Amino acid sequence: MTRLTLNAEVPNERVDQFLARSVEGLTRSGAQKLLEAGSVRSASGAILKKNARLNPGETLTVELPDPEPLDVVPQNIPLDIVYEDRDVVVVNKPVGMVVHPAPGHPDGTLVNALLYHCGKSLSGINGVIRPGIVHRIDRDTSGLIIVAKNDAAHLALAEQLQDHSLARTYEAIVVGGLREDAGTVDAPIARHHTDRKKMAVVPGGKRAVTHWSVVERYAGYTWVECRLETGRTHQIRVHMAHLNHPILGDTVYGSKKPYPGLAGQCLHAKKLRFLHPSTGEPMEVECPLPEYFTTLIHKLKKL
């Protein structure tokens, strides 16, 4: 059982709406089931009903059931390993690969491949479903992901995620021409109020900060570099769409029509900077742009 302590921020908000907005992966119906089970309590210990209204600053305690373990098996799936030692492994994930097993994707994931490659040498902090996984990238995003091979490394890297010393830099092609050469999006992100599969810029959501700069301009498109200061779900995709410059090929936050030649959004996690969890030494790991990205650049240059 996982216990969370949350602080309400929006005046007179229903508790089920607040939970669905605040707990990643929790739908409103899921929040209502927790409330019906008596798993949500006020600071005084009183069990809250699903139609309860919250005041700003009110503290809740939520007990989340542990996820049911999946039968995750090692699979001999080739990995593009950019760096590896006894504490960490950094993988260049291809477009289309899911990071960890989930309903609809029971195997063929990065975790299945890591279990085959690393054996038992993976952090157990995230359990059997996500062993070693410190952070995630979307299925249709390519690029670097760092994996912890022991619990001490996992805790150290997770702390760096929290204090932003683990820096992640992405490259993307966005639709349209950005007016400035660089900028920062500081806009809070939470679950979309009607489409629970999407994220959105929402007042009262979790703070999200993305720094971007132009790499190259084309007719109707811009190549940008994005550096995450925070790491919310779909953050770069949501923030660029918020600027009215969605990532090319993103059928969730941009055009519903796929872009010819792209299997997903044109977004690549190109660089990681972190402090080595054992030595404290500054590390920088980088991978080249994938073929789909360079092919697209050549195509855009001819427009």
Residues annotated catalytic, as ranges: 138
Please name the amino acid found at residue 7.
N
For CA atoms 99, 101, 103, 108, the dihedral sign is positive
Estimate the crossing angle of helix 28-36 against helix 15-22, to 10 degrees.
120
Q: Burial letters for 22-48: b for 16+ Cβ neighbours within 10 Å, e otherwise?
A: bbeebebebbbebbeeebbeeeeeeeb
Cβ within 8 Å of residue 129, ≥6 positions away: 67, 69, 70, 72, 100, 101, 102, 111
> Can you read off the two tokens belonging to residue 63?
């007990």
Question: Is the distance from CB of 107 to CB of 144 less than 8 angstroms?
Answer: no
Q: Is 65 exposed, middle or buried (0-12, 13-18, 19+ CB in 10 A)?
A: exposed
Q: What is the DSSP string of 44-69?
A: TSPBPPTT-EE-TT-EEEEEEPPPPP
Cβ count within 10 A of residue 57: 9
Q: Which residues pair with 93 in a beta bridge?
A: 143
- Rounded Cα distance, 154 and 122, in Å: 9
Residue 211, amino acid = H
Backbone angles phi, psi at 28, to 5 degrees: -65, -40
Of 46, 47, 51, 43, give the one whose Cα is nearest residue 15: 51
